[in-house]
């Protein structure tokens, strides 16, 4: 059974995350379903996509499926990891992707909303960036998503505290384009989509690609890249990484020892 629902309404593609029992955790299976929906819409040249969760969920998505994080000395966010494949799919889609958010957003799902082109949310939305809770050495492309979207001090507070940012604050700092009542969420997103579709699609497509290219135009020298990868390896090889996942699965607070 598909973990996402998809439909086309007035030529807008709507993808609904629909795995409530797993709080829409971004498992490989869920990500594969989302990516195949994107692929279907691309084949139909659907010009705008809305990414939402099923109605009434208090959690939009609980982020990366913790049960699928590698346990033994493997990079949890390598290039071919399911979350990374999903983020690139969103970035490379030829038209705008609008996240419609009701409920809390966690970890990799927070990165997913940051990777979408726009966010429409209601006052139940919150955004938490959780690598420091999970002992995960996030990755350069993910951190760049936040640096491109937010003042760096706000991005640092999100990463260093892992505290959920409430909707009002998220709107003030620009994570959310439009903070609206729950009953208006889809209509506001559809209205944005219709306005975009009334413009030159050739221009929209090339401008989206320019935003993508420029947002990644970030010089880093090979020695620094390799040093960062070495530092990241120390983290995912650590007791603390293993402990964070074990504690989560055992439903207890982790006991970090910095080793
Ligand atoms: C698998 C889950 C999850 C889950 N995976 O309900 O950004 S990084 O680097 O951190 C990246 C690696 C990442 O994205 O990591 C994951 C970050 N996610 C989080 O930190 C959120 C973890 N989840 C929670 O804090 C709670 O589940 C929330 C607050 C979302 C909801 O709490 P609530 O009390 O309503 P439960 O915690 O009871 O969760 C219901 C079921 O969903 C599972 C959880 O283990 C439980 O499973 P069981 O019913 O088998 O006990 N679950 C929740 N999140 N990310 N499984």
Q: How far away, in angstroms, is 29 Cα from ligand 1 center?
A: 16
Q: How far away, in angstroms, is 14 Cα from ligand 1 center?
A: 25
Q: Are 97 and 131 in contact (CB under 8 A)?
A: no
- CA distances 223 to 174, 226, 228, Å, are 34, 5, 9
Mutational pocket test of ligand 1: of 25, 64, 65, 66, the residue with most ligand atoms within 8 Å of the beta carbon: 66
Share of residues in the chain with pLDDT > 90 (%)? 97
* DSSP string covering the chain: --SEEEEEETTEEEEEE--GGGTT-B-HHHHHHHHHHHHHHHHTT-SEEEEEE-TT-SEEE--B-GGGS--SS--TT-TTSHHHHHHHHHHHSSS-EEEEE-SEEETHHHHHHHHSSEEEE-TT-EEE--HHHHT----HHHHHHHHHHS-HHHHHHHHHH-PPEEHHHHHHHTS-SEE--GGGHHHHHHHHHHHHHTS-HHHHHHHHHHHHHHHT-----HHHHHHHHHHHHHHHTSHHHHHHHHHHHTTS-------
Q: What is the pLDDT of residue 217?
A: 94
pLDDT tens digits for range 40-77: 999 999 999 999 999 989 999 999 999 999 987 899 99
107 lines ligand 1 (CB under 6 A): yes
* Residue 2: pLDDT over 90: no
Average pLDDT over residues 76-93: 96
pLDDT bin (cut points 50, 70, 90) of residue 98 is very high
Q: Which domains does the chain have, with CATH numbers?
A: 4-183 (3.90.226.10)
Q: How far away, in angstroms, is 251 Cα from ligand 1 center?
A: 10
Rounded to the nearest integer, the mean pLDDT of the chain is: 97
134 lines ligand 1 (CB under 6 A): yes
pLDDT tens digits for range 110-160: 999 999 999 999 999 999 999 999 999 999 999 999 999 999 999 999 999
61 lines ligand 1 (CB under 6 A): no
**Whose alpha carbon is nearest atom 21 of ligand 1?**
62
Q: What is the pLDDT of residue 1?
A: 66
* Residue 29: pLDDT over 80: yes
236 lines ligand 1 (CB under 6 A): no
Ligand 1 atom index nearest CA of 108: 14
Q: Quote the CA–CA distance of 188 and 215 in Å, as a whole number.
A: 26
Q: What is the pLDDT of residue 71?
A: 86
244 lines ligand 1 (CB under 6 A): no
63 lines ligand 1 (CB under 6 A): yes
pLDDT tens digits for range 196-208: 999 999 999 999 9
Average pLDDT over residues 163-174: 97
Q: How far away, in angstroms, is 247 Cα from ligand 1 center?
A: 12
Average pLDDT over residues 176-193: 98
Active site residues: 64, 108, 138
């Amino acid at each position: 059974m598909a973990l996402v629902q998809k439909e086309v309404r007035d030529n807008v593609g709507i993808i609904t995350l629909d795995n409530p029992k797993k709080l829409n955790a971004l498992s490989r299976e869920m990500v594969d379903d989302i990516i195949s929906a994107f692929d279907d819409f691309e084949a139909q040249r659907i010009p705008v996509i809305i990414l939402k969760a099923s109605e009434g969920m208090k959690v939009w998505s609980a982020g990366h499926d913790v049960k699928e994080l590698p346990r033994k000395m493997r990079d949890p966010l390598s290039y071919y990891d399911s979350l990374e494949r999903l983020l690139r799919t969103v970035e490379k889609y030829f038209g705008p992707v609008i996240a419609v958010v009701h409920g809390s957003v966690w970890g990799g799902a927070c990165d997913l909303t940051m990777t979408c082109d726009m966010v429409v949310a209601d006052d139940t939305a919150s955004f938490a960036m959780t690598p420091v809770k999970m002992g995960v050495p996030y990755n350069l492309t993910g951190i760049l998503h936040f640096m491109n979207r937010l003042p760096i001090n706000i991005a640092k507070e999100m990463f260093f505290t892992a505290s959920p940012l409430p909707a009002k604050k998220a709107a003030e700092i620009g994570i959310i384009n439009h903070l609206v009542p729950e009953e208006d969420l889809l209509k506001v997103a559809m209205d944005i989509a219709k306005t975009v579709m009334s413009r030159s699609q050739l221009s929209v497509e090339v401008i989206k690609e320019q935003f993508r290219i420029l947002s990644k135009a970030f010089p880093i020298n090979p020695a620094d890249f390799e040093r960062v990868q070495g530092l990241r390896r120390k983290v995912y090889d650590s007791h603390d990484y293993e402990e964070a996942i074990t504690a989560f699965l055992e439903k207890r607070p982790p006991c970090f020892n910095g080793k």
